[in-house]
């Protein structure tokens, strides 16, 4: 990492982390000895925020409580879309139903997903990931989610845009 930085090449750390802010992610990596800053991290939440701002969307957030600060500068009044991430304990029937009601009530529903993972492993075992909940909302609302995390092309284009590097370079 130090050699890459010393070479003058631009770099980005691309993560699908959707249970914590980039600041928390960076603190963890710094604690492991990595010389990394928040400005060098591309994550799904900031990529979603760019889309929300560009398209004047106001999200209903179904995300992990620790991720909410990433959306601090986004208008969330009178939602006209739903953003779903790995909400962990926030994936309750009531919260999913609220997202469903918002989407089903829209003429042109917009569902943005911070990932599409099926499941992941924690110390206490396997857990459903955001993709399972995204698919439920897609099916119930007859909508196709826009995925902004890895491996979506849009995610990597977002990282390139942050660095000011055209894809062909």
pLDDT tens readout for residues 3-53: 888 998 888 999 988 888 899 999 999 999 998 999 999 999 988 998 999
The C-alpha atoms of residue 27 and residue 34 are separated, in whole angstroms, by 9
Taking alpha carbons only, the member of 132, 47, 57 closest to residue 96 is 132
Number of domains making up the chain: 1
Question: Considering Cα of 24, then 25, then 28, then 34, what sign does the dihedral take?
Answer: negative
What CATH number has the domain bearing residue 93?
Answer: 3.40.50.1000
Q: Is 73 inside any structural domain? A: yes
- Residue 127's DSSP bridge partners are 120
- Residue 121's DSSP bridge partners are 126
Q: Is 65 inside any structural domain? A: yes
Residue 31, classed as helix, strand or coil, is: helix
Q: Is 48 inside any structural domain? A: yes
State the residue range of the domain holding 118. Answer: 44-153
Taking alpha carbons only, the member of 159, 152, 149 closest to residue 45 is 149
pLDDT at 169 over 90: no
The C-alpha atoms of residue 10 and residue 20 are separated, in whole angstroms, by 24
pLDDT tens, residue by residue, 50-96:
899 999 999 999 999 999 999 999 999 999 999 999 998 999 999 99
Q: Is 116 inside any structural domain? A: yes
Q: Is 86 inside any structural domain? A: yes
Q: Is 23 inside any structural domain? A: no
Q: Is 30 inside any structural domain? A: no
Q: Is 8 inside any structural domain? A: no
Query: Model pTM?
Result: 0.88
Three-state SS string over 121-163 comes to EECCEEEECHHHHHHHHHHHHCCCCEECCCCCHHHHHHHHHHH
pLDDT at 26: 94
């Amino acid at each position: 990492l130090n050699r890459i930085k010393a070479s003058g090449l631009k770099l980005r750390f691309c993560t699908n982390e959707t249970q914590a802010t980039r600041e928390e992610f960076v603190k963890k990596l710094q604690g492991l000895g990595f010389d990394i800053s928040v400005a060098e991290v591309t994550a799904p939440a900031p990529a979603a925020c760019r889309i929300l701002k560009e398209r004047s969307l106001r999200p209903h957030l179904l995300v992990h409580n620790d991720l909410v600060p990433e959306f601090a500068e986004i208008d969330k009044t009178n939602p006209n879309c739903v953003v779903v991430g790995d909400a962990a304990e926030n994936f309750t029937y009531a919260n999913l139903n609220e997202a469903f009601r918002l989407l089903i009530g829209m003429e042109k529903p917009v569902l943005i997903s911070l990932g599409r993972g099926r499941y992941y492993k924690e110390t206490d075992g396997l857990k459903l990931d955001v993709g399972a909940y995204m698919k439920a909302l897609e099916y119930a609302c007859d909508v196709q989610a826009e995925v902004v995390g890895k491996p979506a092309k849009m995610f990597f284009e977002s990282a390139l845009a942050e660095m000011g590097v055209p894809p062909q370079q």
